[in-house]
Structure 1
Amino acid sequence: MDKLKDLAILILMGGQNRRMKGNHKAFLNINNTSFLQMIISSLHQLAPIYISVNDVSIALNLSYPLVKDVYKNIGPIGGIYSGLATIPYKYVFVIGCDMPFISADIVQYLYNHIDINKDCTVLCDNYGRLFPTAAIYPTKLLPNIEQQILNQNYRLYTLMNNATIINIENTPLNLNHLTNINTPEEYQAILNTH
């Protein structure tokens, strides 16, 4: 698969991991492979990879550029803001480190559906649930995100007001690739099936 022009990948791993009882989700394993390694091995051929962190000490052994949160402890929007402000590419595919099954096909599909007049490109399911931590954001969105943060509105859904929204269930893509794992129970359920 060829590199995608003007695109970088940002893996968000700056969360508090409270629901996972303090275990960092990026380093949880399935068959001796960490979530982070699974994501990188699926996506590294598409675009340069950056890692979003709130504390660089957790990622010093990683051989990828680290993007430190400018605004701390405000959730994924803080990582997205810092990524768009730092990464020298026009578009950034943002992926949460708790989504180990992400596939290159999803990134390619979203990339093919970028509309320069929209604020981001995101998937939804048949119930209208959006997947903003597996979406493409343009760097031109930076001022809007900054204003939203200054207004103390940290909801990613607000960024979706002018988005290209694609129902994944109307595409050849697999919804299971967007599974995110937030709790010990969800993690155990995944381990039981892999």
Structure 2
Amino acid sequence: MQHLPNLATLILMGGQNKRMNGEHKAFLSLHEKTFLEHIIENLNPYAPTYLSVNTQSLYEHLNYPLIEDKYKDIGPIGGIYTALSSIPEEYVFITACDMPFVNGELITFLYNQLDLDTSCVVMSDKDGRFYPLGGIYHKSMLPLIEAQIAEGNYRLGALLKRTHAKIIPLSQAPFEEKLLWNINTPEEYKSLLQEK
């Protein structure tokens, strides 16, 4: 299939994996493939894929463009900032390496919600909590992100409240919440492996 116009996908891989006891979540195995392989396989038909990393030299064996964080150790906002400032496409679908179920259904649904006034589109759950990862971000957000980093506020929820984010309730989506799950702990990973 053809790539969606003016869209890239970014997989955030720069986390410290503390809650996973230091094991890199991108390389956890599910159905004989790594999380990273699942995500790339699911998203690559829709847009070019970039990997956001803390240290480029650790990931040079992966055959995808690597984007090294300009700001280190400030969480996802640092990877998003660096990607938006360096990727040529106007829009970037941002996901994390611990979200093995993201797929084309999600990316296409969000892409179809974009309009000229939309700087960001993300999902929310039944309690109104945002899913900032598994969302599409536009380059126009760069000044806001830069200002927020300068303030030392690295929370993506705060960023979404500052911008013209389109927040779509999961109840309006044609897919299950599972697409947005992230696997953070050994317990969550064990539970995932025990699923039929």
Cα distance in 1 for residues equivalent to 2:119 and 2:6 = 16
Matched residue type, 1:193? E
Report SS of the residue matched to 2:39: helix
Aligned match of 1:39: 39
Aligned match of 2:115: 115
Report SS of the residue matched to 1:10: strand
User: Which of residues 183, 186, 190 is equivalent to 1:184?
Assistant: 186
Matched residue type, 1:165? I
Aligned match of 2:145: 145
Moved more, 157-166 or 32-41: 157-166
Moved more, 167-176 or 144-153: 167-176
- Does the Cα contact within 8 Å between 1:119 and 1:159 map onto a contact in 2? no
4+ residue stretches of structure 1 with deviation over 3 A? none
- Does the Cα contact within 8 Å between 1:119 and 1:160 map onto a contact in 2? no
Report SS of the residue matched to 1:133: strand
Aligned match of 2:22: 22
Cα distance in 1 for residues equivalent to 2:61 and 2:21 = 23
1:12-91 superposed matches below 5 A: 12-91=12-91
Identity of aligned residues (%): 49
For residue 49 of structure 1, report the CA deviation from its aligned partner.
0.3
Matched residue type, 2:177? L
Report SS of the residue matched to 1:73: coil
Aligned match of 2:165: 163
- Does the Cα contact within 8 Å between 1:169 and 1:175 map onto a contact in 2? no
Matched residue type, 2:141? L
- Does the Cα contact within 8 Å between 1:115 and 1:164 map onto a contact in 2? no
Ranges in structure 1 where 5+ consecutive residues have no aligned partner: none
Cα distance in 2 for residues equivalent to 1:93 and 1:8 = 6
Aligned match of 2:2: 2
Report SS of the residue matched to 1:101: coil
Moved more, 156-165 or 72-81: 156-165
Q: When the two structures are superposed, what TM-score results if normalisation uses the length of structure 1?
A: 0.97
- Does the Cα contact within 8 Å between 1:50 and 1:67 map onto a contact in 2? yes
Ranges in structure 2 where 5+ consecutive residues have no aligned partner: none
Q: When the two structures are superposed, what TM-score results if normalisation uses the length of structure 2?
A: 0.96
Q: How many aligned residue pairs are there?
A: 194
Report SS of the residue matched to 2:19: coil
For residue 171 of structure 1, report the CA deviation from its aligned partner.
1.8
Cα distance in 1 for residues equivalent to 2:96 and 2:37 = 13
Cα distance in 1 for residues equivalent to 2:105 and 2:121 = 14
Matched residue type, 1:7? L
Cα distance in 1 for residues equivalent to 2:185 and 2:151 = 30
- Does the Cα contact within 8 Å between 1:114 and 1:121 map onto a contact in 2? yes
Matched residue type, 2:59? A
Matched residue type, 2:167? I
